[in-house]
């Protein structure tokens, strides 16, 4: 029998430095992309295989798309404009319903920092404005 998984609207929660963020745009509001493989393989001519775990396997890029001028945009903008580097920790949590059972998918965020200033983006189809934040971080998934 096929498994049915549903992610309900409003089920995404982002917490950074004990502050909650929910003013996401519709669509791909949050993206977490791991930059490196978990391991590297070197294969020799005689069939010898060397497998090395990468120490940077958990390094990720967290892209957060918020409604421009929302309360959450104002909070992250203040962090961006603070002199120096603010280290971000927290979590990205999504509630998923699988065959009637609610589950949490959690990514723990550590050693994060904002990577660039918000660029101007206008969505002419829906008429809303987006503020996109890019955060470099270490992340681990748990379900």
Per-domain residue ranges of the chain: 5-142
Where in 30-100 does DSSP place strands (E)? 30-34, 39-43, 49-53, 59-67, 88-98
pLDDT of the residue at 136: 94
State the pLDDT at residue 135: 94
What pLDDT is attached to residue 21? Answer: 92
pLDDT of residue 2: 54
Burial code (b: 16+ CB inside 10 Å, e: under 16) for 51-85 equals: eeeeeebbebbbbbbbbbebebbebbbebeeeeee
Residue 101 confidence (pLDDT): 83
CA distance 99 to 2: 9
Q: Which residues of the chain have pLDDT under 70?
A: 1-10, 28, 121-128
CA distance 107 to 32: 9
Interior angle at CA 95, CA 88 and CA 107, nearest 5 = 30
What pTM does this model have? 0.80
Q: What is the pLDDT of residue 59?
A: 93
| Assigned CATH topology for domain 5-142 | Pnp Oxidase; Chain A (2.30.110)
């Amino acid at each position: 029998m096929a498994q049915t998984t549903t992610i309900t609207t409003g089920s995404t929660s982002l917490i950074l430095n004990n502050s909650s963020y929910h003013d996401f745009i519709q669509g791909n509001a949050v993206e977490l992309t791991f930059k490196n493989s978990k391991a590297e393989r070197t294969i020799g001519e005689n069939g010898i295989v060397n497998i090395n775990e990468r120490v940077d396997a958990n390094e990720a890029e967290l892209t957060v798309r918020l409604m421009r001028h929302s309360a959450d945009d104002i909070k992250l903008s203040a962090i961006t404009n603070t002199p120096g580097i603010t280290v971000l920790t927290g979590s990205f949590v999504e509630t998923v319903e699988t065959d009637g059972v609610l589950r949490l998918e959690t990514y723990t965020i550590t050693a994060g920092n904002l990577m660039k200033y918000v660029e101007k983006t206008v969505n002419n189809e829906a008429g809303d404005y987006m503020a996109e934040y890019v955060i470099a971080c270490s992340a681990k998934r748990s379900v």
